[in-house]
Amino acid sequence: MIVIPAVDLYQGKVVRLARGDYNEVTVYSDDPVAVARSFEDAGAGRIHVVDLDAAAQGRGANLDAIGAIARALGIEVELGGGIRTVEDARRAFDLGVKYVILGTVCVRDPSTASSILEAFPGRVAIGIDALGGRAAITGWKEVTSMTALDLARHYEKLRPAFIVFTDISRDGMLTGPDIEATVSLARSVSTPVIASGGVSSLEDIRALAATGVVAGVITGKAIYEGRFDVAQAVRASRSRAGA
């Protein structure tokens, strides 16, 4: 299981939101490149970048920071937030991003989402952000009637690179991930599922790794708050996986 540290960007700074609430922003750094490089130095094999401005407003305010991160690192960068057209995806790839993650467009405009997946095979993932089992969009401001599982199954035929499954109620709260829901989704689809939201301890990471069906875990606030560091997280992800 891969550990993917998160770098959430808001107005050019590294931040974390509590439960996706833009009124509950904690700023951790004004140097996104330094933060990302420190994660690479600690052994991360991929970085998860979110453009929070683009997620909420549909346009990017952090392109310079995203490009600088991609250029500075020798590891993969995945990007979510505001990828809603083929051109948005192409722009991200031109910046040096390895994968883009689709969210809102998957619900609002399935035809365009399909076009993006078809245009860049193997490089497009689906982000499923759920509240009470229902998919949420537009920077988590709107909860839809579509279930997370229905959304995942709808796009499986287009072979997304992976699914990032986030429990909004736990994101940024350090309450532990919803392992049961994550495992249920992973067992219901053939697409690799990456867990996100609520990771609070190394035991959470060990528990996800021990399921044998979760492909990766994204962790942010626990690292920024000093619960553990990236190197410890990487070791924990391997401790019950035969490494």
Lowest-pLDDT range, 87-91, 164-168, 211-215? 164-168
Name the helix (H) or strand (E) containing 88.
Answer: helix 86-95
pLDDT for residue 204: 95
Residues 99-121 have a mean pLDDT of 95
Q: How many CB atoms lie within 10 A of CB 31?
A: 15
> What are 114-170's pLDDT values in tens digits?
999 999 999 999 999 887 766 765 545 556 567 888 899 999 999 999 999 987 655
Q: Which residues are catalytic?
A: 8, 129
What the chain holds in terms of domains, given with CATH numbers, is 2-239 (3.20.20.70)
Contacts of 62 (CB under 8 A, 6+ apart): 9, 10, 11, 12, 32, 51, 53, 54
Encoded amino acid at 54, one letter: A
pLDDT tens digits, residue range 42-80? 999 999 999 998 877 766 679 999 999 999 999 999 999
Q: What are the φ/ψ torsions at residue 207 (nearest 5 degrees)?
A: -65, -40
Q: Decide: pTM greater than 0.85.
A: yes
Q: Which helix (H) or strand (E) holds 2?
A: strand 2-10
